[in-house]
Structure 1
Amino acid sequence: MNSATAIEAFLEMMSAERGASANTLEAYRRDLDDAAAGIGGLADASSSDIRAYLDTIAARGFAASTQARKLSALRQFYRFLYAEGLRGDDPTGTAMAPRKSAVLPKILSEAETGRLLDRAAEEAATAPPGMSQVATTRMHALIEVLYATGLRVSELVGLPVEVAQRDQRFFMVRGKGGKERMVPLTEKARAAMTAWLSARARDAAAVESPFLFPAASESGHLPRQVFARDLKGLAARAGIRAARVSPHVLRHAFASHLLQNGADLRAVQQLLGHADISTTQIYTHVLEERLVRLVNEHHPLAD
């Protein structure tokens, strides 16, 4: 089997059996195509070929996290070939991933997040000059739901309209790998979605869409890039530097603010849809800060 055929077979398996999203499949394709260009016969590569390729991408200046991601893609590719009987070994078995430095997620404070939500609510009530009431009502619903649930941006923009029509305190969302999880909705988020449903109903084309946030795009729903751009504009109008704000930053804010206010790390893991607790442990700095505060405030010898 040549490398191109092997890559296509692997991607087909990831899509059919593991429910990988289009973005995930494209990321695997890029990494495997890069490796194929660097190694040559990727499907038949040896352990020394893999080590030489890893040395090459390190020399090209890729960050440790990117090197680790590329190695992970190769590991999964060769495990697939081994499982299918297309290879008798895994050449990545002895390859060592570079150590990644701990990078703390960017977050907004509770006060800053409050300013962002308040600004969205104000604009939804009275659209600023040059902005449509429909656009501001949609943004208010998007940001309230995002902060209330901690959804991934792809999960948020792809929500089905039934989520808002049911008006329930919880709903099920399908995340990575097709796994479902239950997420809560605050009263404010439910109210913002109800207002958006009313605005959405005035658009005949939107009414027929299965998506809560429909758009004339290839996917049929609001593109995540458009939401990210509009969110930065909202942040600037709220007096927050646009570079500090993104949908993922609000997801981090959701998790960090829960932990700061006493939530359990395992509960946050479930709400975020992390398969492994180690992914959620990037927030342990929040727990450490909370423990220090508890000791300083309540230990009899803290003074």
Structure 2
Amino acid sequence: MTKEQIAVLLVELKKSTNPHVDLVSRICLATGVRWSEAEQLQPQQVQQRLIQFARTKTGKARAVPINQDMQDEIFTHHAEHRNMGAIFTGCTGAFKEAIERAGIQLPMEQLTHVLRHTFASHFMINGGNILALKRILGHQDLKTTMRYAHLAPDHLDSARQLNPLVF
């Protein structure tokens, strides 16, 4: 999604009657975590400005950094909405409605995954490191992450500046 589409989507998410969809979506956009990982987040997974995941799609544990404001918002949300220990309840339907209201057209089967893809794309466009992105997304194979490398036109420029012949 473009920055403009993100802005429109965020407005539509705030209009939702579902109290969870906005924060779940913003967690996905800010961290690149899968929708299911954000939606099923437990309070004990959030500590020291990290969201920790033990049971992931790949089976490998990973920790994803968040800023203090997001951590505070997660705990405030949990305090307001106590959902039998969970922070959120299901909100995929509310996300789909917000996407439709925003007029965003998505490929088939890409509804919530668009947030993960958007995070990764903007991470690279904004100068992120491909190996850092691999770790954040929890990809086992760098080839999977390399799909985003073309989005950073200067991602190989460091070879010019960091080689041993540069004085």
Is the 8 Å Cα contact of residues 58 and 140 (structure 2) preserved in structure 1?
no
Instruction: Flag the structure with more relative contact order, 1 or 2, with Cα contacts below 8 A and sequence separation at least 6.
Output: 2
Corresponding residue to 2:137 among 254, 268, 272: 272
**Structure 2 unpaired stretches of 5+:** 158-167
1:259 equivalent to 2:124? Answer yes
Superimposed CA distance per residue, residues 232-255 of structure 1 (whole angstroms, 9 cap, x where no aligned partner):
211223x33254562111100000
Superimposed CA distance per residue, residues 103-144 of structure 1 (whole angstroms, 9 cap, x where no aligned partner):
xxxxx0122113222433x43xxx6xxx3xxx2x31111011
User: C-alpha distance in 1, partners of 2:95/2:119?
Assistant: 16
Is the 8 Å Cα contact of residues 134 and 142 (structure 2) preserved in structure 1?
yes
SS in 2 for 1:182: strand
- 1:115 maps to 8
Corresponding residue to 1:234 among 82, 86, 98: 98
Kindly, what percent of the aligned residue pairs are identical? 26
Is the 8 Å Cα contact of residues 31 and 136 (structure 2) preserved in structure 1?
yes
Moved over 4 A (4+): none
CA distance change for structure 1 residues 188 and 110 in 2, over 3 Å: closer, same or farther? Answer: farther
Corresponding residue to 1:210 among 77, 81, 85: 85
Q: RMSD of the TM alignment (CA)?
A: 2.5
Aligned residues: 153
One-letter identity of the residue aligned with 1:149: T
Per the normalisation by structure 2, the TM-score is 0.77
Alignment of 1:72-83 (within 5 A): none
1:145 equivalent to 2:37? Answer no
One-letter identity of the residue aligned with 2:62: R
SS in 2 for 1:210: coil
TM-superposed CA distance for 1:197, in Å, is 1.5
Which is richer in helix? 1
CA distance change for structure 1 residues 240 and 194 in 2, over 3 Å: closer, same or farther? Answer: farther
Superimposed CA distance per residue, residues 146-174 of structure 1 (whole angstroms, 9 cap, x where no aligned partner):
1111112222222212245x4x3212112
- 2:60 maps to 179
- 2:165 maps to none
SS in 1 for 2:4: helix
- Return the index of the structure with the highest Cα Rg: 1
CA distance change for structure 1 residues 197 and 242 in 2, over 3 Å: closer, same or farther? Answer: farther
User: C-alpha distance in 2, partners of 1:184/1:111?
Assistant: 25
Superimposed CA distance per residue, residues 33-90 of structure 1 (whole angstroms, 9 cap, x where no aligned partner):
xxxxxxxxxxxxxxxxxxxxxxxxxxxxxxxxxxxxxxxxxxxxxxxxxxxxxxxxxx
Per the normalisation by structure 1, the TM-score is 0.45
SS in 2 for 1:269: helix
Corresponding residue to 2:49 among 169, 176, 179: 169
